[in-house]
Amino acid sequence: MKAASTAFQQMLANSQALMMADCYTFTLTTGEKILWTSAQQPITVGGVTYAVGPAIDRSTIKNPRGVQVQSLDITMAAESNGSQGPITIGGLTLTAFAQAGGFDNALVQVDKYLTTSWNDTSAGTINLFTGRVSTLTADRTMVKMTVKSMLVLLGYAWPPNVYLPTCNHVLFDSGCALSASNFAVTGSVNAASSVLQLSTTLTQPSGYFNNGMIQFTSGANNGLRVSVKSNVNGTISLVYPLPNGPEIGDEFTIYPGCDKQASTCQNKFNNIVHFKGYPYVPIPDTIYAGGQTAPQSAGAGNSNSGGGGGSPPSWSGRGTLKQ
């Protein structure tokens, strides 16, 4: 059941005609909030102001019983919000911001605003949907995202830390305890660069920036952050293409990546004290039945096998008992 204020309920009961608009709140993983409305003018409700955003289209919102995960598809026009000019976030166009991962895992709240006058916000809003961005695509004309309801959290693996040879931490998070600024490297773009591959002034060895991140600090891609696929000497390969072609002299800051191996943690980052993997957990193939440390050679005597030759039963692979 949706909760609505007394004023909202009275307005619904007593009004013959109402104006309505959607109010969107995008809470990014950085904590920043983007507030947009589909109305033709800014709306302030409860001290919160929703700006005129891009043209937004969404799918129908359903509220069935049970614990089924609900999806909401949102499509936003990429470059314009009418007379207000192009939409920008942090100096980036909406498309560039989305391609840089700005909306990844963002919390999305959709509220319905109903009123008899755009200037009367006393009735407040009613929440229609809350969820997190699941998938996103962006091109030159639009940004499309699928938002899953919060029930999707019930499907997440738990507990979050599992026994694996690789580290459970994310590079530069609180568990890793390293500071990204201490590993930041600056550089610039050379000639013969493309939207997927950059020739740069970097001198680090091949593989140092694999799975890392690059952020442009000048040029047409200023502010854009893109995942690094690999580096071979000074040539950087990107996971996704840049929205704008790089120019000679474009500056950037790049950060190394981590493959979560204990050797990398020790040799590359000198951070083995914070390594949270379990590289010495034995694999199933090394566990044998009968308390034996290894199978006996064929033909050798074995008191557990009725006096006959052969090896004791052993586990081979996962879940297969070898006799």
DSSP assignment of 19-74, as one string?
EEEEEEEEE-TTS-EEEEESSSS-EEETTEEEEE-S-EEEPPP---SSSPPPEEEE
Q: What percent of the chain has pLDDT over 70?
A: 83
Per-residue pLDDT at 301: 45
Q: Is the dihedral of CA 218, 221, 224, 230 positive or negative?
A: negative
More confident residue, 74 or 13: 74
Cα(42)–Cα(216) distance, rounded to whole angstroms? 32
Please check whether residues 119 and 54 belong to one and the same domain: yes
pLDDT digits (tens, 9 = 90+) for 180-192: 999 999 999 999 9
**Residue at 162 is within a domain:** no
Please check whether residues 261 and 289 belong to one and the same domain: no
**Residue at 163 is within a domain:** no
Please check whether residues 25 and 128 belong to one and the same domain: yes
Per-residue pLDDT at 27: 96
Indicate the pairing of strand 33-37 with strand 48-52.
Answer: parallel
Question: E-assigned strands of 116-266?
Answer: 125-138, 142-149, 185-188, 197-199, 213-216, 225-232, 235-238, 251-255
| CB contact set of 320 (below 8 Å; sequence gap of 6+) | none
Q: Are 125 and 112 in contact (CB under 8 A)?
A: yes
Per-residue pLDDT at 235: 96
Please check whether residues 185 and 237 belong to one and the same domain: yes
Please check whether residues 245 and 299 belong to one and the same domain: no
Please check whether residues 149 and 220 belong to one and the same domain: no
Cα(99)–Cα(119) distance, rounded to whole angstroms? 36
Please check whether residues 215 and 265 belong to one and the same domain: yes
Please check whether residues 150 and 23 belong to one and the same domain: yes
- CATH code at position 247: 2.40.10
**Residue at 129 is within a domain:** yes
pLDDT digits (tens, 9 = 90+) for 249-304: 999 999 999 999 999 999 999 999 999 999 888 776 655 555 555 555 444 444 44
Neighbours of 319 (CB within 10 A): 7
More confident residue, 83 or 163: 163
Cα(232)–Cα(209) distance, rounded to whole angstroms? 9
| CB contact set of 249 (below 8 Å; sequence gap of 6+) | 188, 189, 218, 219
Total structural domains within the chain: 3
Write the burial class of residue 46 (CB in 10 Å: 0-12 exposed, 13-18 middle, 19+ buried): exposed
Please check whether residues 311 and 254 belong to one and the same domain: no
Give the domain range for residue 295: 282-323
**Residue at 169 is within a domain:** no
Cα(138)–Cα(97) distance, rounded to whole angstroms? 9
Q: Is the dihedral of CA 159, 146, 140, 41 positive or negative?
A: negative
Least confident of 146-155, 208-217, 251-260, 303-312: 303-312
